Structure 1
């Protein structure tokens, strides 16, 4: 089995629970594994993408309020459906889009690239260090007993999601709360990450084609600094349940 075949098989074991699709039958997620990344900090590629994303979002915001941008509005409705107030807990796409006037954050190359593509393509997008994962990714509605490791006041703390909250998790605990609100530091991307999992979340009106194009753009951007990288991807839909 080749390296790419291994990761393709790994993604086949990723799971979205039926209860998640019951909440939003139109939900789809594209999972992208990228291996053999050459580690590094922010560079000209990530900076160029961030500036493109800022310009695109500013143009969009000049025409309509952030809460009326179609995909952001869809996620706000979805947060209400599982009991999270969208004005208090903003999905990652909305949170980033609201920051474009002051400038998107500059974190590290991998994070900068996926944040830029998220805003440019208007897709909530997360990135995880797959080398720190335990088992395979799962998207479920929480029981409330799961553990989410985070920080507060500079100290490590453990939170528990609300019962019914949609979370991403692995065998060690929750990796992202409220579907795509906040990722945990345990699996965060760093300047040393060489193996990554990217999670592209979509509701209508985002099409499968737009998801695939966003993933293609991610791979193209990463190849500029890591020409030997390999990829595996899988689109998960309600039909897979």
Structure 2
């Protein structure tokens, strides 16, 4: 496990009510448990029913925050907004793998951006900071690996090598993408002032319960990050 994440003080200037739940997971020798195959379907059904009550206010706050650092939320929305739009349009999300399905389901049910990262691919600690434009971001375009650079002033997650997620929580990079239930994993649930504290706690509970179902003897460390 690693300590962190580290939050740049300037982030709280952009979003004074920002706080996050950080969840580190060490799979160790944990045997695979059972995936709740209906969890993603049930989350999509909750979105279609208009849940949760704070969804529109919370996602609107993310849009306003994106505008503060020069992003265009209609073109590049936060991850929770993007997932919700897909469900409202198509009625469902396709399954990817158990761990991605779990954190997508938590994101949908609680209208909260959730990131899942392969911690073994990290160099140093996760940092939430503001880009100077020189950082590298590994991604793909038309199936080909490419390297991008964030805009100056863009909010990014990064490690000692480069950017792991652009525009705060819009697009995850290729290098640290989580695609297996093994090794060390890190999840972050990010909230603004319009999400109730009790809801963020409940989202963290749902994430940890789902992880324990998938990996019954894994080690989980959870803590809140705020100003």
The residue that corresponds to 2:146 in the other structure is: 157
Question: Where does the alignment leave 5 or more consecutive residues of structure 2 unmatched?
Answer: none
- The one of 84, 87, 101 equivalent to 1:97 is 84
Match of 2:192 among 203, 207, 228: 203
Contact 1:39-1:192 at 8 Å conserved across structures: no
User: How far 1:209 sits from its partner (Å)?
Assistant: 2.8
Partner of 1:48: 38
- Residues 39 and 115 of structure 1: CA distance in aligned 2, closer, same or farther (over 3 Å): farther
- Match 1:18 to one of 9, 16, 26: 9
Equivalence map 1:44-193=2 (5 Å): 44-45=35-36, 47-60=37-50, 69-101=56-88, 102=90, 103-193=92-182
Counterpart of 1:33? Answer: 24
- Say yes or no: does 1:235 pair with 2:224: yes
Supply the distance in 2 between the matched residues of 1:27 and 1:167 (Cα, whole angstroms): 15
The CA RMSD over aligned residues, in Å, is: 2.1
Deviations 1:77-120, CA, capped at 9 Å, x for gaps: 11111111111111100110011142113111111100000000
Partner of 2:112, secondary structure, is: coil
Task: Tell me how far apart the structure 2 counterparts of residues 183 and 39 of structure 1 sit (CA, whole Å).
Answer: 28
Displacement after TM superposition at 1:165 (Å): 0.5
8 Å CA contact retained: 2:158, 2:165: yes
Structure 1 residues 39 and 73 mapped into 2: Cα distance closer, same or farther (>3 Å)?
farther
1:113-170 Cα offsets, whole Å, 9 max, x none, are 0000000011110100111111100000110111101011222111000111000001
In 1: Cα distance, 2:198 partner to 2:183 partner = 27
**Total equivalences in the alignment:** 223
Gapped runs of 5+ residues in structure 1? 1-6
Question: How much has 1:39 moved relative to structure 2?
Answer: 7.8
**TM-score, length-normalised on structure 1?**
0.86
Asked if structure 1 preserves the Cα contact closer than 8 Å seen for 2:97 and 2:179, the reply is yes
In the superposition, relative to structure 1, how do residues 188 and 206 fare at CA in structure 2: closer, same or farther (>3 Å)? Answer: same
